Every structure is written in C-alpha cells, then in structure tokens.
Structure 1
Amino acid sequence: MPIDIGDVVSDGYERTVARNGLLFIGIFYLISLLEGLFLPTPTQSTTLPDPMGGPGMGPVPAEGMQPYAPSLGFSPVITSLLSLLLGIISIVVTIGALRTFVTEETEQIPEAHFRHNLLWAGLNLIIGGIIFGITIAIGFIFLVVPGLFLLVSLFFWEVYVAVEDQNFIEGFRNSWQLTSGHRLRLFGLGIVIAIIAMLVSIGFGIPGIVLPDILGFLIAQFGSAFLGVFFLATVAQTYNHLLSMENKPGVEISEKRM
C-alpha cells in the first residue's frame, strides 16, 4: 500500500500548529534572529542548518526570502564562536523536535528529549551529515538520477540517529530498508514539500519589498522558522507512516530510553 502524501502533509501541518510545534517555531525563530545579528556583514543571508543535508537538520535556509539582516558587526573571531554556539543549540533543538514529533505528545515537550544521549546523537549527526553530503554530491556529479535515488533512500538516517539511538551507519542501512518500495512516492512528497516551501517563502518575503529592512527581516525569518518546523514534523510523521506500513510498532520515546 503506497504512502498517502496528503495524509502525511496534513499530519505534519497539524503537528506544526499544535502547541509543541509553535514552541519549536518560537525557538528556531529566536535562533535565526540571533544568527542574523551576529553575521559579519549586512549582505549575508541568514540560514539555519539544512534539515536533511547536513548536521543539525534545522529549518530550511531562509536565503532569498529576506532582506539584509541587521548585523551588529562583531569581529570575525567573536562571530565564529557565536555562530558555532548557535549551531550547537540548533542541533540540540532539532533532536528534541524530532523526538517530540514522532510521539503523540502535542501539548508538552518532555525535558528528556533534550538530554537523552545528546552527545552521541550530536556527534553522529555531524559526522554522518558530512558523509551523507559527500555521498549525495557524488551521486549528482555522475548523474542527477543516482543522486536523487540516494537522497530519497537515505533520507531518514538522521531520524534513526536522533530517535532510535543508532549510529549514522545503522541509520543509513535502516533508512535504505525503510524506503524500499516507497521511493517514487517519497520523491513526490519531496516535490510537494518543495512547492509548499516556495509558496510560503514568497508569501513571507513579499512584505520585505515594501517594508523597512528590519521589519522585512523579522517577517521573513518567521517564515523560515515555520517552514523548518513543518519540515521536521512532516519528516517525523512520514517516518511513523512508513513504520506502520511495515507492520512495525509505532515509535515512542519511553522512560527507559531516556
């Protein structure tokens, strides 16, 4: 039975606008604003880590959808240190978000989701993210189709790392098995999400054309945070749907795993 794209997108949206989803939007919004203030020049666009393209899996890049960030103009050394700190915080929050979204909890974020095996998960996300990025890049260099095939096949490796306490190698292997038989439909889901992201980006970017830069920046960054949380929620719900279709028990972060 093929995965229902409409159901997955709908579930992802519902989790995004629930209390927990809104809390994560607020957290990522604050991170993106702080990152914008610490940029070395006002011409750089503010981004958070690519959700599935590298370490952190944070909200989708805001590039191209916001005016100049109001940089405080710190020195390169201070900027680098602050950016590193914000990157680490983003990884921690993203792990907590995935662990929350795969459960049925919508009103309260368990504290354990930000503490359990955090160093192990974070290191695997960083190392695995580098290897994942190189692998996908090689696939795209030879031909676009192999790159897309690898992207879809290995897409959920980070969920296995964050949620199931697996290392990135196990995550790659299990993602390959999980997506088997569903890759074409998952590719279609990716296209739908990309279209939604484009429309939302345009909608939140339009005010920046007529409003002062600072207001346009604030509005656009909120759109970026919303898209990022929607992406994470949809990924988590897709993961749960695929598990249920494989006749596996639903994911639940139990106390013993904390």
Structure 2
Amino acid sequence: MALQLSRAVSDGIRRTLSRTGAVLFFALLVLQFGIQTSINSALLGYLPAEAAAEFSSDAGLTLPVSGGVGLALFAAFTVLSSAYFVVVSRTLAQPLAEMSTFPAGVTDRLGRATFTALVGGLIVTVAVTVGFAFLIVPGLFLAASFLFFVFAVAVEDRGVVGSLKRSWELSRGSRLKLGLLVALSAAFGGVLGVLAPLLILAGAPVAADVLTVVLSAAFFLPYYGIIASAYRQLRDGGPGTGGRPSQSVDPSRTPEL
C-alpha cells in the first residue's frame, strides 16, 4: 500500500503527545546536552593552552575536563544515544492506543540492538554522505531508502544487513514521499545553521547551544513519531493509526551481523 503521508504526520505527532512522549523528550534533551557539551569540551581540551584561553569564551557549553575525557564522554553519550533510539523506535511503533506506557519488551536484547544500530547507522551515514557529495538526489534517495533501518533493528530484531534490506524493501514505492521527510529534516538543520551562528556572533555561545539542543529535541521527537507511523503503515499495509500490530519477524530467519 502507498504511504499516506498526511495520515502519518497527524498520527506521528499524536504518538508523542503522551506521558511516554514527555519522558522521551526529556531524555533526548539530556542526551543532546551531553553530546554538545562533550564535543565542546573535547575540542577546547585539545587546543594549546594559549588558544584554549582565547577561545574559551566562545566555546559554549563546556566542562573543565581534558580533551581525552571530553572525547570519552562523547563516545559514551553516542552509545547511549544509540540505545535511546532503539527504545524510541520500539515505543513509538507500538499501537497508538498503548502509547500511555512503554512496551513490555522495550529493553529486550538492548545491548545487541544498540551495537547493531551503531554499526548500521555508521554505514547509512557514510552512504548518505557520499550520495550528497555527488548530487543531492542520490543522497535523498539513500536517506529515504534507509529511513526505517533503526525500526527494523529495534522492532523486528534484525541484524545490520537484514535491517538495511528490510528498510529498502519497505521504502520501495514511497521514496518520493519519504524524501519529503528527509528534506524537512535538512531544512530544519539549515534553520539551526543560521540561528546558532547569529547568537555566537552576538556573543552568546551558551545560548546558541541551548537553543540548538531544545529546538532539536522539540523537532526530532515528533519527526521520529512520523517515521514510526509511516513504518507501521508500510509494514502492516494499512493506515497505521492504531490497532493490532503485525507479527514480528523471526530473528532466526534474518541476516545478522
């Protein structure tokens, strides 16, 4: 069945306007603040002392740690973020009527799913970046084709190769509409790319980081809700506004890492 994008948008937003949505939002805020702060701290920590003193006022959110510690914090928050998006995918992909609570198996095989999401996410990022480096259209095509990768990992318990194939299969016939979602995300990034430098130029780097984190969390949680709704539509062959989910794929029959 072809993707009904307008239904996915309205249904996806409703999925985040719940108690679990609020919990996921605040967790995303913590992770985003952690990532931004650790990046700033690592960059500042690796600068020579003279340069660090000169640029410290423009560094934004930082911690008084060495560059190595900042880099280690960034790695830790990256792993936590991968685990978070596994949980987000499992939560937002459940029936709409059950969105007031987290699904019973939300942490099942979380370690393996996190590792798979990390490895596959790196592959997708490289592929999409290369696609955009050549032309915009190949980048949009690949980004749309792999939009459901994390859902295949988290919800269907597939491995890296199986999840890439599953996302490619689900997106077939709906890549143009999914590409609009990718373009929306890129447009949002462009807006942040203008606002944050303006605040930095105005001498408010901390405000720039806070604005970036808060707006990113406010945008991307509903955005993933929309993707979850689109995933349910294409997986179940129906509108996906609730109801009974389809049977999960047997992980023993899918390619693993």
Say yes or no: TM over 0.5: yes
Q: Which residue of 2 aligns with 1:75?
A: 66
Give the match's secondary structure for 1:112: coil
> Any residues of structure 2 matched to 1:46-85 within 5 Å, and which?
68-85=59-76
> Any residues of structure 2 matched to 1:119-198 within 5 Å, and which?
119-195=111-187
> Any residues of structure 2 matched to 1:1-258 within 5 Å, and which?
2-38=2-38, 39-40=40-41, 68-104=59-95, 105-110=98-103, 112-113=105-106, 115-195=107-187, 201=192, 208=199, 213-245=205-237, 250-251=245-246
Larger Rg: 2
CA distance, structure 2, for counterparts of residue 123 and residue 204 of structure 1: 34
- Once the two structures are superposed, residues 78-102 of structure 1 have per-residue CA deviations (whole angstroms, 9 ceiling, x without a partner) of 1122111111211111111110000
Give the match's secondary structure for 1:70: coil
What is the CA-CA distance between 1:7 and the residue it aligns to?
Answer: 1.6
**Equivalent residue letter for 2:66:** S
Q: Using a 3 Å threshold, how does the CA distance of structure 1 residues 36 and 103 change in structure 2: closer, same or farther?
A: same
Q: Using a 3 Å threshold, how does the CA distance of structure 1 residues 87 and 128 change in structure 2: closer, same or farther?
A: same
Q: Using a 3 Å threshold, how does the CA distance of structure 1 residues 238 and 96 change in structure 2: closer, same or farther?
A: same
CA distance, structure 1, for counterparts of residue 141 and residue 224 of structure 2: 21
Q: TM-score, normalised by structure 2?
A: 0.74
Q: TM-score, normalised by structure 1?
A: 0.74
Q: Which moved more, 1:243-252 or 1:85-94?
A: 243-252
Give the match's secondary structure for 1:109: coil
Unaligned runs of 5+ in 1: 45-66, 254-258
Give the structure with the higher percent helix.
Answer: 2
Q: Using a 3 Å threshold, how does the CA distance of structure 1 residues 233 and 68 change in structure 2: closer, same or farther?
A: farther
Q: What RMSD in Å do the two structures reach over aligned CA positions?
A: 3.3
What is the CA-CA distance between 1:126 and the residue it aligns to?
Answer: 1.9
What is the CA-CA distance between 1:193 and the residue it aligns to?
Answer: 4.7
